[in-house]
Chains A and B, each alone.
Chain A
Amino acid sequence: MANWVPLWLHRLGSPPVFYRFAGAVRPWAFGLALLLGAVALYGGLVLAPADYQQGDAYRIIFIHVPSAWMSLFIYGAMAVAAFIGLVWRIKIAEVVAMESAPVGAAFTLITLVTGSLWGKPMWGTWWTWDARLTSELVLLFIYLGIIGLYHSFEDRRQGARAAAFLVLVGAVNVPIVHFSVNWWNTLHQGSTVRLLGPSHIEASMLWPLLTMMAATKCYYVASLFARVRADLIASEGGKAWVRDIALGQPGNDTA
């Protein structure tokens, strides 16, 4: 087997290479996110039938559930990046972990807001102290703590390492959020989409949901890469490759 894969991954750890790679991927990821999102919204809001129990109000599921998945997925991705950054001291991994946090916090907030919009007609209340709602709120607080810790240090790398450590400590909450509907039987409905075995949801409702999930994943990649590029420019401001880009020198510039 050729060794270009490890070699390429190794080179990707270098800030200028990652900057160019992220710049090349970002527009495609944004475009794909928009396209898939539009298809999923059309499928979910127009093509899918109304629910026999919840009528049209259930359609917020196409925003709510993919956001909830992403709030956990991004935490997982952030924890992996934080672990790599802490163990192997790879700067890009630290930056990826830290720039994932605001995106994850945004998805968590969207989950909470759409959930409360959905909860009002279905449960008759905006907020209830239900296990899943509460653990999702705690997840938002953990995201905010990570962002706060990162920005409280003068030295970016030191802040990133400290916050990466907090990411790993806070990771205990992720399984709690994920399994809360199975462990505690409270108001929130159980999961209907299964990775293994048949899902308890109509196929015409399932495909927009999965398409939206792909769209949010693409959006995460695009948004993350845009943020990482900005962070790299800020933290590597004194380096030659940033100066080359700023001055529009040929060879390094990709714009």
Chain B
Amino acid sequence: MTPGTTYAACAALLRRDLTLAWRRRGDIAMPVLYAVIVTTLFPFAIGPEPALLARIAGGVVFVIVLLAILLSLDHLFRGDIEDGSMELLMLAPQPLALLVGMKILAHWITSSLPLIVVAPVLASMLKLPPEAMPVLVIALLLSTPLLCLLGAVLVALTAGSRRSGMLLALMLLPLCVPVVIFAAGALAAAQEGLPWVAPIAWLGAGLAMALVLAPLACAAALRIAMDT
């Protein structure tokens, strides 16, 4: 691999971000712990009847995963902006959109993959029928990168402002409504034995569009935020 090529730069950035995340393994566990704890609250709050829980399991899991991703998004660029490496990335000869895309990929691997792994466990705690499990995993595999990409654009927008936590929720959650509708819709259809491919295809289409547009938008937003 020749140093200095775009490919090498992307690989190096991905390796760096994954190494940094691995050095702080506790942070990776946080979204998972959050999701587990919030899931256990539901049976306490609405009662433990299996029929009721099975009815809401899919939607609850999607909303919990969405909130866990929202919480983890805040430090997506924060460390890099604070220690100055974001400026170096922006000055690099490689396209910023690609480099930012690598950062989003690393973030998805460290924050969303663990959630996808535990999601079937959470869903079975809420009595989701086993035959709906594959649909849950497929829907999560398509919707979590979509949420990360959308979220990254908005995190980049708030990167220049000091209070961003609640603001991020206010900006991101309305835009996530279609993702939640399609993901939960696929799961609900699967639970009732109806065809569930159409909403999954919509999620895939959304993901394909976001994969192309979101890194570009994210790079533009970062340039706005860092332009002082």
* Chain A contacts to B: CB under 8 angstroms: 134, 138, 141-142, 144-145, 148-149, 152-155, 158-159, 161-163, 165-166, 169-170, 172-173, 176
Contact of B57 with A by CB under 8 A: no
Question: Given A148-B167, A162-B160, A166-B157, does the pair A138, B174 have CB atoms closer than 8 Å?
Answer: yes
Determine how close the nearest CB of chain B comes to the CB of A97; give it in whole angstroms.
14
Per-residue CB proximity of B142-172 to A under 8 Å, as 1/0? 0000000000011001101111100100110
Q: Top 9 nearest A-B pairs by Cβ distance?
A: A145-B171, A141-B174, A152-B161, A162-B157, A138-B174, A145-B170, A161-B224, A153-B161, A142-B174
Question: Given A152-B158, A152-B161, does the pair A162, B174 have CB atoms closer than 8 Å?
Answer: no
Contact call A152/B167, Cβ cutoff below 8 A: yes
Q: Can you report 14 residue pairs joining A to B where beta carbons are below 8 Å apart?
A: A148-B170, A148-B171, A149-B161, A149-B171, A152-B158, A154-B162, A158-B160, A158-B224, A159-B161, A162-B157, A162-B221, A162-B224, A169-B154, A176-B178
Contact call B154/A173, Cβ cutoff below 8 A: no
Contact call B171/A152, Cβ cutoff below 8 A: no
Q: Which residue of B lies closest to A140 (CB)?
A: B174
Question: Given A149-B167, A152-B161, A159-B161, does the pair A169, B173 have CB atoms closer than 8 Å?
Answer: no
What residues on B are CB-neighbors of A141 within 8 Å?
170, 173-174
What residues on B are CB-neighbors of A163 within 8 Å?
157
Determine how close the nearest CB of chain A comes to the CB of B7; give it in whole angstroms.
29
Interface size on B, residues (CB 8 A): 24
* Chain B contacts to A: CB under 8 angstroms: 153-154, 157-158, 160-164, 167, 170-171, 173-175, 177-178, 217, 220-221, 224-225, 227-228
What residues on B are CB-neighbors of A154 within 8 Å?
161-162
What residues on A are CB-neighbors of B160 within 8 Å?
153, 155, 158, 162
Contact call B170/A155, Cβ cutoff below 8 A: no
What residues on B are CB-neighbors of A142 within 8 Å?
171, 174-175
What residues on B are CB-neighbors of A144 within 8 Å?
170
Q: Which residue of A lies closest to B161 (CB)?
A: A152
